[in-house]
Amino acid sequence: MHNVEHHVGRLVEVRLASPLNAEEVQQFVLELNAVLKKLPGKYVGLVDLHDAHVFVPAISESLIQLLSAAAARVERAAFLINESAIFALQVERILRSSNSDNRRAFRNTDEAVKWLGEALTPEERVRLKTVTMPKPVKAAR
């Protein structure tokens, strides 16, 4: 599963969840590139990987290629990861291989919001806080 959204300014919101197959990654690349083409200059990205798990090697390589191709346009990008140590190592390797020092992995959402917020306008910060707020838990009936 994937989702690419753009609501305000330079802030691009992405969600990736497992399982991801090659066709879905190709569709994700098309959707992300379509959003990025509409934005002049650099963008700030929030990538939610909380529902993703270890990627198979082919998916990892596809993501490295995508991230490398977009590296020059990234002002900052925060990757929100779950508690899996193995997945964290994989995401960190993908980020190192992507040719951009402007991408970081975070387990703590507040730290990611703070880091991204340094590069955002007030309107973009409002959206960032809205999108990263915990979802309310529905009461059982």
Q: Shortest CA distance to 20 belongs to which of 3, 1, 4, 33?
A: 1
Query: In total, how many domains does the chain have?
Result: 1
Q: What is the pLDDT of residue 132?
A: 86
Residue 115 lies in a domain: yes
Total number of residues shown for the chain: 141
Is the residue at 69 inside a domain? yes
Detail the DSSP E strand segments found in 27-140: 43-48, 74-80, 103-106
* pLDDT tens digits, 111-132: 999 999 999 999 999 999 999 8
- Position 141 in a domain: no
In a domain, 17, yes or no: yes
Query: Do 46 and 77 meet the contact criterion of CB atoms below 8 Å apart?
Result: yes
Rounded Cα–Cα distance for residues 46 and 139 (Å):
29
- DSSP E strands in the chain: the ranges are 2-8, 11-16, 43-48, 74-80, 103-106
CATH code at position 128:
3.30.750.24
Our measurement of the distance from residue 29's CA atom to the centroid of its chain's CA atoms, rounded to an integer in Å, reads: 12
Confidence (pTM): 0.90
Domain containing 58 equals: 2-132
pLDDT at 17: 93
Query: Does residue 138 lie in a domain region?
Result: no
99 conformational bin, left if phi > 0, alpha if psi -120 to 50, beta if neither: left
Label residue 137 by pLDDT band (50, 70, 90): very low
- Give the pLDDT mean for 17-35: 91
pLDDT of res. 100? 84
Percent of residues, the chain, with pLDDT higher than 90: 81
- Whether 48 is covered by a domain: the verdict is yes
Domain-embedded: residue 19: yes
